[in-house]
Amino acid sequence: MNPTLSEGSRQPPRKPWSLERLKFERSIAVGAAIDTSTHSSYTSALNSYVYFCDVHKFPYQPTPDIFSFYIVWLCNNDVQRVDPKSVEKYLSGICNELEDFYDDVRAIRNHRMVRKTLRGCRRLYSKPTKRKSPLSISDLALAVEHYCHRRNHDDLLFLALLLTGWFGLLRLAELCLPDVKKHQNLRKRTRRDSVKWYLQGYGFDLPQHKADPFFEGNKSIRSGGATGLAEIGVPLHLIRATGRWASETFHIYIRKNPTFLTALLLQ
C-alpha cells in the first residue's frame, strides 16, 4: 500500500534536494545533537575505552564482559582510581560515541552484569560526596560592602554577576563563557540588547542553556539562591520554576536541613 496525498492537500513548493545535500544537512544536525563541551568529554571517555581494549587485546565491539572488566579496571586501578560515579558517565559517553557503529551498545550497557558490577564498585570504591557551601545573604552583603565603592570595571562586573546569578538562580555557564575557546558557543551568550529595565528590577533573555544532565560545575551561587528563597518562605514550586529545573532533583540545591527550614518557615 502506497500512501497518497489527501484530496485538497496543499504543500509548499519546496524543491527536492540531491542525496549529497541531504547527507550533508543531516551530518550537520547530528553533529549539533550534543554540546561541544559534552562532545569533548564523551571523546575523552571513548579514548579511555579504546586504550583499555588495546592494552588488553580486546576487540572494540562492546560486550557485557568487556564493559564489566572496564569498570573494575578503572575503579580499582593501582595507578589512578576513578570514582564509580565518573565511570557511569564514561559509559554514557562511550555509548553515545559507539551507537552509530554498534546498535546494541545501550542494551549491553544495561545488561545485568554491567549494572551489578557498577553497583558493586559503588559500594566498594565510592568517595564521599563533596559540595561547595552555598552562598548566603551574609556572604552577598560582604561582597557588596567590599566591591560597591570600587571603580574598576572587572570588580563591578563580578559583583553584578554574583548578585544576578544568586537572585536569578542562574548556572555559572549562563553568566560567563568557558575558558576553553572551542567550548564557547555564541548561541548561549546573553546579548546586552536583550536587557530590559523595570521600575523595581531588570531582566534579560537566556537564549540557550546546555541542559546536560551530566554537567557538573560551580553551583554555590545557584544553590545559595535556592536556599535563600526557601529560608524566606518562597514555595518550592516557585523556586523550581525560577531556577528552570525540569525534575524534583532541584531539592538537592537547597542545602539546609529540612527540619531547620521548617522551623524557619513557622517563625
Whether 138 has a pLDDT exceeding 80, the answer reads yes
| Inter-residue contact 139 to 223 (CB < 8 Å) | no
Structure confidence by residue, pLDDT tens digits, 54-78: 999 999 999 999 999 999 999 999 8
CA separation for the pair 126, 107 (Å, rounded): 25
Residue 2 CA, chain-centre distance (Å), reads 44
pLDDT score at 143:
92
Give the per-residue pLDDT at 214.
Answer: 39
Question: Cell for 246?
Answer: 525540569
Amino acid identity of residue 188, one-letter, is K
Q: Which domains does the chain have, with CATH numbers?
A: 35-125 (1.10.150), 137-208+215-266 (1.10.443.10)
pLDDT over threshold 50, residue 134: yes
How far is residue 215's CA from residue 53's CA, in Å, rounded to a whole number?
Answer: 27
Does 267 score more than 70 pLDDT?
A: no
pLDDT tens-digit series, residues 162-185: 998 888 878 787 888 888 887 777
Q: How far apart are CA 97 and CA 180, in angstroms?
A: 22
Q: Kindly state the cell numbers that stand for 50.
A: 579504546
Average pLDDT over residues 119-139: 85
> So what's the pLDDT on residue 254?
58
* 25-52 residue pLDDT tens: 998 888 778 877 888 889 999 999 999 9
Q: Is the pLDDT assigned to residue 86 strictly greater than 50?
A: yes
Q: Is the pLDDT of residue 127 over 60?
A: yes
Per-residue cell: 231: 529560608
According to the model, what pLDDT value does residue 221 have? Answer: 67
- On whether the pTM is more than 0.75, the answer is no
Stronger pLDDT, 247 or 210, i.e. the higher one: 247
211-264 pLDDT per residue, tens: 444 344 445 666 667 777 776 777 777 776 767 666 665 555 555 555 445 554
> Cα–Cα distance between 258 and 83 in angstroms, integer?
29
Computed on alpha carbons and rounded to an integer, the radius of gyration of the chain in Å comes to 24
